[in-house]
Amino acid sequence: MPDPPTIPELPNDQIPPIGSHFMVVFFIAGVVPNPLDIRFQTVSGISSTIETEQVTEGGENLFTHRLPKRVTYQNLVLKRGMVKGSPLNIEFGLAMDLMKFSPSNVLVMLLNEKSNPHASWLFKNAYPVTWTVSDLDATKNAVVIDTMELAYTRFQNLRL
């Protein structure tokens, strides 16, 4: 009986990255990196969808044409332990308390084992839309989590 075929190993640069090593950079006024607000527990909402429009063709009853219409995006959702005195908290406070917005660019970087960027996503003109504090519960010994949700005009996928 012949030996089963062996599956070749992937070269190191082809192994899918681990999603637990990442960094988030907020650019104050769109250009100056904020060095204090870079650590988050989770990042979600990196998603885009192309909306389509259905067009029926006269006399064609088997199908309809689906034509691309526009790209839509989910909100970017960031979670971290509650911190005091961060520029990001000030920006969220101004938005939530006074409806004053200063849209900025946000860079999310997936890092490799040497802390070099493996992939990045640049979110353009991001601004706060939701700020949630986790439940306070005297029966649990848990870190208080801030959840910050941002809308943005678009994002660019920057694969290296």
Structural domain boundaries in the chain: 19-49+101-160
The pair phi, psi for residue 118, each rounded to 5°, is -100, -40
How far from each other are the two terminal CA atoms of the chain, in whole angstroms?
Answer: 45
Got the DSSP string for 81-117? Answer: E--SS-HHHHHHHHHHHH-----EEEEEEEE-TTS-E
Kindly state the average pLDDT of the residues 110-138.
93
| Residue 14 in this model has a pLDDT that exceeds 70 | no
- Nearest Cα neighbor of 121 from 69, 44, 68, 51 is 44
Kindly report, residue by residue over 67-89, the tens digit of the pLDDT: 999 999 999 999 999 998 888 99
Report yes or no on whether pTM surpasses 0.85: no
Sequence letter at residue 8: P
For tokens 């694969």, the residue is 159
d(CA 86, CA 106): 16
Is 69 or 59 the better-scoring residue by pLDDT?
69
What does the pLDDT read at residue 153?
95
Sign of torsion over alpha carbons 113, 12, 116, 146? negative
| Three-state DSSP state, 57 | coil
What does the pLDDT read at residue 29?
72
Kindly state the average pLDDT of the residues 130-139.
94
pLDDT above 90 covers what percent of the chain?
62
Sequence letter at residue 136: L
Average pLDDT, the chain: 89
